[in-house]
Amino acid sequence: MESVRRERGLKKIIKLASNENPLGPSTKALAAMRKAEKSLFLYPDGASTSLRAALAQKAGVTPHRVIVGAGSDELIELLGKTFLNPGDSIVVSDHAFIRYKMAGELMGAEVITVPMRLYTHDLTAMAAAVRENTKLVFIANPNNPTGTYNTRTELSGFLKQIGQLNERREAPMLVVVDEAYYEYASTLQKDYPETLALQKEYPYLMTLRTFSKAHALAGLRVGYGFGDPSVITALDQVRPPFNISVLGQVGAEASLKDTAQAKRAIRLVVSERKKILPVLSKLGIPVVPSAGNFILIDLSPRKGAEVFESLMNRGIIVRSMDEYGFPNHIRVTYGLPRENQQFLQALTEVLGR
Ligand code: PMP
């Protein structure tokens, strides 16, 4: 933000580029971290015992089923490091969150890419794409950058199919469902799957979540995962010993206990989308229906990268989507009311409407 401001001679920057929650962290989390500053000369608890116990208690599972990472990004990479070797493969969608592909490539695994259907993971095609050497299947639910989600029925059907394939295997392939936008999707979508309940039936199912989005703690870097104790133990053997800082552990735990925090984040998205979507519709701009705190906007025939630059010259940072295979789209995070207003005004100007 600072370099954009300096280089372009702008006074103020609005960042709607990384699906953060602009309301900021829970005041209880901030107070807990201030209190913990006295302990900063000590190494953190390498097992994040208290945070894992709190996550487990809230989810109604035992702490043996919980792992925490420096963001869910670290857990995605850890899954790759733990379970992939050259000669293995992973299955992902063509417009899925990009870190899965990167984790596969990092480990020299083949990345099998399956086309989406209507901007959504095509779970039938993904099940058909799985091979004997497939070790991991990644599903972002909702997906970033499309914002779309797979329903309970779709996911259960998919897991059943994978289960049948796993029965014939020595080492089961893992299905990783990345729920970075869980708080939004589980509250706002009636048919959103409850993966923790599904884990009872499907032990090879792993769930990832994060404090970076609704909890507004992206800068703290804390993500977490639920899975079978055997999977958690394997990941723990590869995990760096002190991956969650002292502040990360206490801040995340306090935020988890502040239930009002996520509710505020959801309310903001609900009220802002009521204002933004009609304006975009009036401008004739197609928007992909989103279960997250962001939207993917189709600006065809304009190039997303070009609109991104023009918006940046007006002090508004969004994301162009070339690396996701969407050359005509931008992704925009719902900001504060005033920020969204300025974005809409700038977009109208840039598009000359
Ligand atoms: N998964 C998805 C689908 C995301 O959108 C993001 C954030 N961009 C992440 C994982 C990573 O989040 P973090 O590492 O901050 O937990």
- Let me know how many helices (H) and strands (E) the chain has, helices first: 14, 13
Place of tokens 């480990």: 107
CATH number belonging to the domain at 2-19+260-351, selected among 3.90.1150.10, 3.40.800.10, 3.90.1210.10, 3.40.50.10490: 3.90.1150.10
- Architecture of the domain spanning 27-257: 3-Layer(aba) Sandwich (3.40)
What's the CA-to-centroid distance between 140 and ligand 1, angstroms? 9
pLDDT tens figures, 176-192: 999 999 999 999 999 99
Do 222 and 64 contact (CB within 8 A), yes or no? no
Ligand 1 pocket list (CB less than 6 A) = 19, 71-73, 97, 140, 144, 178, 180, 210, 212, 218, 223
Q: Which pair of structure tokens corresponds to residue 14?
A: 């609005």
3-state secondary structure of 317: strand
Domain limits, CATH 3.90.1150.10, in the chain: 2-19+260-351
Tally Cβ neighbours within 10 Å of residue 8.
Answer: 12
The pLDDT > 90 percentage for the chain reads 95
When pLDDT is cut at 50, 70 and 90, the band that residue 4 belongs to is: confident
Domain limits, CATH 3.40.640.10, in the chain: 27-257
Do 152 and 192 contact (CB within 8 A), yes or no? yes
Q: Which residue has the least CA distance to atom 8 on ligand 1? A: 18
Q: Which pair of structure tokens corresponds to residue 328?
A: 């005509």
What's the CA-to-centroid distance between 9 and ligand 1, angstroms? 31
pLDDT tens figures, 112-159: 999 999 999 999 999 999 999 999 999 999 999 999 999 999 999 999
Q: Which helix (H) or strand (E) segment is 176 a member of?
A: strand 174-178
Q: What is the pLDDT of residue 6?
A: 87
Q: Which residues, 6 or more positions from 351, have their beta carbon under 8 angstroms from its beta carbon?
A: 283, 285, 299, 302, 307
